[in-house]
Structure 1
C-alpha cells in the first residue's frame, strides 16, 4: 500500500463539499494539513489559490508526493476523492464493474445531490427575495433526490455496496436534511445510513474539522453564505 511522508495540503472550509476531503483524509490516516480559505475575506480569489483551483471554489489539495514523486494540485471534490482512493487503494473497488457503480453515485452527488440542495439553501435561506416557485422547485427536487438515495439504500448498508467514496461524497449534504426542508423519517434507509456513518470516527472528525477556527463571521454575511453552498 502506498505511504505518505509529506503532509497533503487541503484548502477548504467546513462546508458539505469541504467535508468530503476532510473525511477522506481522516479515513486514509495519512498526514495532512488544513488550510482555511476564508471566502468572507476573498481568499478564493487570491492568485495562489487560483493557481490550484481555477474555478475559485473549495476544496482543492496539493499532494507533494504526486505521480512520479512530484507535486500535483487537484480541484473538484469528486476528482480529489477518486485521486486519493486510487493512490492509496482504499474506498474504491478494484473490480471494474464495481468501479462503475461507485462512479455513478459520485457523479450523481456532484451533478445533482449537491447542486440541487445548494439551490434549495440559496432560495429558501439566503435569497434577498423569497420566490415561492423557486423555493418549491428546489425543495421538491431535494425530496426526490432523497427518495432516490433511500431506494438505493433499501437492501444495502452503503450506497454502492461496500463503504466507498460514494458515501463520503454525500454524507455532508445528507446530514443537513432539516435545513433543506425535509423530514428524515420519510427516508428511513437514509436515516439509518446517516446514523451508520456517524459511528465512524473519521466521519465524525471530518465533519467537525475547521469549525473551531477563527474567520470572518459568515453567519452574518449573506453573500458569503450564498457562496458557501455553491462550493464543490
Structure 2
C-alpha cells in the first residue's frame, strides 16, 4: 500500500490537498489532524467519495514524542505500507507586532511549522532513501519569501522552511526524492477569514484571493511523476503579489 501523508489535513488548504490527491493519485491518503476530528472525518468522507481510500491519524506535529509514537504505531499496524509522499501543511499563526510578541507566540508558531516539518519528515526519510523514491512538499508562504509585518514569527518559520527545502533537496536528489515548497499568498481559508479582504485584494494584481483548490492542484503536480526534474524549488502562488 503506497500512501501520501498530509499534515493539518482536516481543513482549509490541507483538506483540499487530501481531496485532490484522492482524485489524481492512487495513494492511500493519511489525513493528519490535531483536534478537529469531525473535520478530519469529513475530509476522509470526501476522499472516499472521490473513489479512493484513506484514514485519519491524530497527532500534534509540534510534539516530537507524540509524532513518533503515532507514526510508529501506524507503521506497526501497516507493515506493508510505504509513505511515498509527505505534504507538510500544518501551520498556525499568532500574529502581532514583534515588540509585543511573547515567547509562547514566537515558539508555538516555529514549533508547528518548522519543528513539525522535522518531526514528520525525519521519521520517514531513511525509508524513502532505502526505497529510492519520494515526494516531499512543504507549505511555505508569501510571508516566508518576502516577509510580512505583524508576522515575524510566521515569516521566520516559513522562511526557514524555504531554506530547509533547498538544502534537503540537494541531500536526497540522487535517490529520486524531490523536495519542493509552495508559497501561497492570500488564500480563502479559516486562517485568512479574519483578514480585511476588501483592503488586501488591492495588493493582489489578479484582484482576488486564491482558492484552496488552486494550491492543491499545484501540490498534486509536485507529488506526481511529472515533476521528477523539479526539486529544491519554491513556487509562489499568490496572484502576482510577489515573484
Q: Which TM-score band applies after superposition, normalised by the shorter structure?
A: 0.3 to 0.5
Structure with larger RCO (C-alpha < 8 A, sep 6+): 1
TM-score, normalising length: structure 1: 0.35
TM-score, normalising length: structure 2: 0.34
More strand per residue: 1 or 2? 2
More helix per residue: 1 or 2? 1
